[in-house]
Structure 1
Amino acid sequence: MTNEKSTLSKKLLTRVLSVYFILTVIVTAGQIVTEYVNAKSHIAGELQTLKNTFSTSLTRAMWELNMAQAKSIAVGLMELPIVEGVQIRDENGQYIANLGRTSEQPHSPIIKGVVQDHVGGTFGYSFPLIFEFSGRTSLVGDVALYSSAQIIFSRIEVGIFFLIGNAIIKTAFLVFLFMSAFRTMLTNPLNELRQQISDFDIDDLETSKLHLNVPDKNEFTLLEQAYNGLIDGMADFQKRLNGAQAELQNANRLLDDHNISLEQEVAKKTATLSKIMLDLEQQKDELIVNQRELRQENENRQFIEDELRKRNNELASSMDTLQLAKDQLVESERMASLGGLVAGIAHDVNTPLGVGVTATSFLQERLNTLEKAYHEKTLTGSTMNTFLSDAQQTITLLTNNLNRASNLISSFKQVAVDQASEAEREINLKEYLNEIIQSLAPSLKKTQHVINISCPDSVVIVCAPGMLAQIFTNMVMNSIIHGFEDMSKGTIDIKVSQQPETLTIDYSDNGKGLPKDSLAKHFDAFYTTRRGKGGSGLGTHIMYNLVTQTLKGDIEVFSEPGHGLQYVLTIPLHSQR
């Protein structure tokens, strides 16, 4: 007899109740989570409401540096049931009060109210303290109010107990209802069906039919009818089976005759199969030969791949050598540019220094003459007046030329030091541009070219100044050497505009311009239109690398033949290196 614990009704009841129990647990858990979230949101709203209660007095206390009152307010806030911790900081992020359960705040000041969770089951509302005075606002500090999950659970404790109790009562009632229904409608009819089926007698099929005591027509009634129909079919089948046995005996005799003829046919097929096996063996030998040839070909390909890999490594080494040579050429070009600047400045400095030496010699000669007249007692008023007049003119000439030499050396010193160094500093762009143009005066003094600078006085940029000097020097010299090659008077316009985070520099000249094919290769290394005339093809390449890689900016070039050349540079106001 089947164990009652493993009957169909028990399993079905267990699964139905299990599904209902799981759904009840999920729904109850969802309701509890909803209660928790709502309670947490409500407490967060209360913390935000507290801001309107005490923020004014606390802000004034912070403004007046009354830290005792601020701490007293923090202690008062700790008395509120929903507050588990209070943090008050000044505008520098220093804690004035740190009471209860709190978490470490970021050092940067809080600029707007925010609710956020913290470790340890706490959450808080942080907001800034802003003091308004004469229509101006000042951040004087910030406040963080903390609450915890324990406070939330204390608020929803009764509701949780009610939800759990309600789920238990409904589950118990439903279990009782299901057990009664299953016993009446499923378990008892199944037991009766099992008992009658166990009394089945193959020799007395008529008495083995089912007679279930089911009040309503349902699946058991259909099962009874189907089972009884099966019994009737079995009785009919027994009759037909007896007739079939006689036919089977006759068929066995015919089968024996057919087996003899079949064995003869199998012998013929076996001979044919043996011939096929010999053919397959020959094909196998040919396949082995092909496999050996394929293996040899794979080995040859592996050798070729090794050789190619070796050549690739050699090529990579050659590329590294070429890159090193290119970097050395770029550095040489920078030093050559600085050397040209030194030569021009030295020539311009020699002129005022020569005038200064001549004026000093003249003044020394006049002084010796005056001293001789003084010792010989021949000094007269007219001689003294002549000496004073000559001395005044000589000193004026000497002062003007020394100041001129000093200004040239000062501009050259700043620009030259910047070009040889990559140190970053804060510079006024307009003043620095004027220094760069002044350092290029030796290259401009023999021409009638004009450089116009349009730059706001307040533009300040943080970068390596030598990079800017190299960039503007290359652009100006490129215009003088290439753009103004056949021109007696050219014009260069430098326009600077400032955005919140970037700086736009528009450089343009009215030179002869470039054709489209030359413009496409303008920034390529070693490309020059003066090949064999002293051009290295590295000036614009260095300028492009300085803008895009060192200054982290962008540069574009525009030009048409006969309409000059234009550079548009966009660089950040602060270095991003």
Structure 2
Amino acid sequence: MPDNQYNLPPHAAKMQHSLVWRIILYFALSSFALSIIIGIVLATWNYHRQTEEFQSRMDYIQAGYTESLGSSLWFYDETQIHTQVKGIMNLEAISYVRVTDNLNLDIESGTRPHHQDIKTIELVYKDKSLGNLQVAFDRQAVLAEASQSAFLMISAQLASLLLLTSLLVFVVHRLITSRIRLMALEVNDRINTDHSEALSIRESAAKDEIDILIHAFNTLSDKMNNELKQKTRAQQQLKRVNAELEARVDERTQSLQLTIDELNHALKALNKTQSKLIEAEKLSSLGGMVAGISHEINTPLGLCITIHSYIDDHYQTLKEGFESGQITKQDFSDFVGIMDESLSIMDKNLQRAAHLIKSFKQVSEDQTGELIREFSVKDYLHEILETLSPKFKKTQHKVHIDCSEHMRMSTYPGAISQVMTNLLMNSLIHGFEDKEQGNINIIIAEEKGNAVIRYSDDGKGLTEEAKQKIFDPFYTTKRGQGGTGLGMHLVYNIVNQRLNGEIDIEKNCGCDGACFRLIIPKKLDVVTD
């Protein structure tokens, strides 16, 4: 067959004839197997037919020869017996004949087979048994004849099979494989050249499966061509859009970078301003403390000056009486009494002033310093209250501290002072704004190595907005009235950053005022580089 005219590619050449030869192989094997089966069936059928014919011949022999053989034996006509035996031997498929009588006659013709293949017929004449006729069927001859018949039939079928196979090869090649190869070549060519033109193979008038395949491929080619054109147009449009987009992105990036630079500059300025405001808030708190302490110290010092003047007056009077010699024992006794009372008053007031100065000195040093030290929590809270006593002395508000005498902390005391001072001043300024009497409760307990501080007052409390924004910088309810909005923001930063603690608003605290919960480590570990 003209297979090489297509010049198939290597991977296709390996597959040539595969479809044809598979069809031929399947057809030949099935036909050959069918022929063998049919031959075996025919041989078997012929054998059984010959066997049945032998039985019918035996019936024929028994009907046609037994009586004449019986008569011949009766008359002892040996010549007639030989003639009849020869006649029986001439019958088809008879291989052995033997006639015997009850005396000495024994006429035998053919080759004696196995005794199982010998058929014995009794010879009777006038109801007397004279001898036996033995006949044998030639099974080998019958089987050979049946086999030869089957062989001839199989040969005829194989010959017809060869003819049909050749015809089948021609038909399959012409109608299927040649057209498929041409399609494969053209499809392969389109794969290598990257285009999707329609096949040059035209559809036949038969409209068979190959025609359907050609039509489907041509339809697919048209669709792929359209999609390819659309894809090309889309890619060109995408390139234009990408170019425009890149230009816009570059432009926006430059604009964004300028905006970011401006925002960074503004953020640095804002952070610097915020730091200055926070520092000013600290100094303002310390300045207010200084003003209150100075006023508080002036009171005992002024009283001491007044007593000193009072003592000086009595001393001058006693001195003049002593110089004039007019002093009496009663005058000296009165002077001693005045001195005792005046010195006692001066001692108390000087002790008060010294205590105030000591408390202020400790708290102010802690607030301005950066050192960690160990201190008694309860004592230090009382020192903070001493520095704020001028503020509370003008009101009827009370501060209650519930803390163990043995509780100690090792942290930044100045940070604790700043936090508590801001909380206390917020209660005075905001919580007790329209209230003459109020209570502030500070409860401190130890829990898992932390100091848990619960600060609460029974003031007017916080609004929902204040609860959400109280720790935000510059948030204040006293805008335009001197409030900076940095007090609680400063407290939040000190607790979280400086003290490594936490501060939150406690919602269910059992009071109507503000309530805060602080968790601060009792011992602050400072990592140094």
> Which TM class, normalised by the smaller chain length?
0.5 to 0.7
Matched, 1:517 2:470: no
Matched, 1:569 2:518: yes
1:454 maps to a residue whose letter is D
The answer for the alignment partner of 2:244 in structure 1 is 297
Confirm or deny: 8 A CA contact 1:519 1:559 kept in the other structure. no
Confirm or deny: 8 A CA contact 1:515 1:559 kept in the other structure. no
The answer for the alignment partner of 2:137 in structure 1 is none
The answer for the alignment partner of 1:364 in structure 2 is 312
Secondary structure (helix, strand or coil) at the match of 1:513 reads coil
Change (3 A) 1:311 1:271: farther
Question: How far 1:279 sits from its partner (Å)?
Answer: 10
Confirm or deny: 8 A CA contact 1:558 1:567 kept in the other structure. yes
Change (3 A) 1:403 1:242: same
Confirm or deny: 8 A CA contact 1:513 1:559 kept in the other structure. no
Change (3 A) 1:245 1:313: farther
Confirm or deny: 8 A CA contact 1:493 1:508 kept in the other structure. yes
Confirm or deny: 8 A CA contact 2:457 2:511 kept in the other structure. no
Change (3 A) 1:271 1:448: same
Q: Which one has more relative contact order, counting CA pairs under 8 Å at least 6 apart?
A: 2
Matched, 1:310 2:229: no
Secondary structure (helix, strand or coil) at the match of 2:313 reads helix
Aligned with 1:484 (options 425, 432, 445)? 432
Within 1, Cα distance between the matches of 2:407 and 2:278? 30
The answer for the alignment partner of 2:379 in structure 1 is 431
State TM-score, norm by structure 1. 0.51
Question: How far 1:388 sits from its partner (Å)?
Answer: 1.6
Deviations 1:433-458, CA, capped at 9 Å, x for gaps: 11111111000111111111111101
Question: How far 1:492 sits from its partner (Å)?
Answer: 0.9
2:301 maps to a residue whose letter is L
Gaps of 5+ in 2: 1-154, 187-197, 203-217
Change (3 A) 1:280 1:242: same
Confirm or deny: 8 A CA contact 1:514 1:559 kept in the other structure. no
1:301 maps to a residue whose letter is R
Deviations 1:270-297, CA, capped at 9 Å, x for gaps: 7999xx9x99999899678646623531
Change (3 A) 1:281 1:413: closer
Within 2, Cα distance between the matches of 1:364 and 1:443? 34
How many residue pairs get aligned? The number is 336
1:424 maps to a residue whose letter is I
The answer for the alignment partner of 2:408 in structure 1 is 460
Aligned with 2:341 (options 375, 390, 393)? 393
Confirm or deny: 8 A CA contact 1:552 1:576 kept in the other structure. no
Question: How far 1:251 sits from its partner (Å)?
Answer: 5.4
The answer for the alignment partner of 1:340 in structure 2 is 288
Question: How far 1:464 sits from its partner (Å)?
Answer: 0.4
Gaps of 5+ in 1: 1-235
Question: How far 1:490 sits from its partner (Å)?
Answer: 0.7
Question: How far 1:571 sits from its partner (Å)?
Answer: 1.3
State TM-score, norm by structure 2. 0.55
Secondary structure (helix, strand or coil) at the match of 1:495 reads strand
Question: How far 1:323 sits from its partner (Å)?
Answer: 2.3
Within 2, Cα distance between the matches of 1:285 and 1:433? 81
Change (3 A) 1:333 1:270: same
Within 1, Cα distance between the matches of 2:426 and 2:244? 60
Within 1, Cα distance between the matches of 2:392 and 2:492? 24
1:397 maps to a residue whose letter is I
Equivalent residues in 2 for 1:543-554, closer than 5 Å: 543-554=491-502
Question: How far 1:326 sits from its partner (Å)?
Answer: 1.6
Equivalent residues in 2 for 1:263-278, closer than 5 Å: none
Change (3 A) 1:240 1:418: farther
Question: How far 1:428 sits from its partner (Å)?
Answer: 0.4
Question: How far 1:344 sits from its partner (Å)?
Answer: 0.4
Question: How far 1:321 sits from its partner (Å)?
Answer: 2.4
Question: How far 1:467 sits from its partner (Å)?
Answer: 0.8
Equivalent residues in 2 for 1:396-411, closer than 5 Å: 396-411=344-359
1:532 maps to a residue whose letter is G
The answer for the alignment partner of 1:415 in structure 2 is 363
Secondary structure (helix, strand or coil) at the match of 1:507 reads strand
Change (3 A) 1:283 1:539: closer
Question: How far 1:374 sits from its partner (Å)?
Answer: 3.2
Within 2, Cα distance between the matches of 1:246 and 1:453? 115
Deviations 1:128-185, CA, capped at 9 Å, x for gaps: xxxxxxxxxxxxxxxxxxxxxxxxxxxxxxxxxxxxxxxxxxxxxxxxxxxxxxxxxx
Question: How far 1:499 sits from its partner (Å)?
Answer: 2.1
Aligned with 1:474 (options 418, 422, 436)? 422
Equivalent residues in 2 for 1:199-238, closer than 5 Å: none
Alpha-carbon RMSD: 4.0
Within 2, Cα distance between the matches of 1:478 and 1:313? 38
Aligned with 1:499 (options 447, 451, 464)? 447
1:566 maps to a residue whose letter is C
Aligned with 1:529 (options 465, 470, 477)? 477
1:572 maps to a residue whose letter is P
Aligned with 1:542 (options 483, 490, 494)? 490
Confirm or deny: 8 A CA contact 2:368 2:414 kept in the other structure. yes
Matched, 1:442 2:421: no
Secondary structure (helix, strand or coil) at the match of 1:489 reads coil
Instruction: Select between 281-290 and 469-478 the one with higher mean Cα deviation.
Output: 281-290
Identity %: 35
Question: How far 1:378 sits from its partner (Å)?
Answer: 3.4
Deviations 1:196-248, CA, capped at 9 Å, x for gaps: xxxxxxxxxxxxxxxxxxxxxxxxxxxxxxxxxxxxxxxx9xx9899679959
Question: How far 1:551 sits from its partner (Å)?
Answer: 1.2
Secondary structure (helix, strand or coil) at the match of 1:297 reads helix
Equivalent residues in 2 for 1:158-177, closer than 5 Å: none
Deviations 1:355-405, CA, capped at 9 Å, x for gaps: 111222232333333333333433332332222222222211211111111
1:431 maps to a residue whose letter is D
Equivalent residues in 2 for 1:46-61, closer than 5 Å: none
Q: Report which of the two structures shows the higher radius of gyration computed on alpha carbons.
A: 2
2:522 maps to a residue whose letter is L
Change (3 A) 1:370 1:553: same
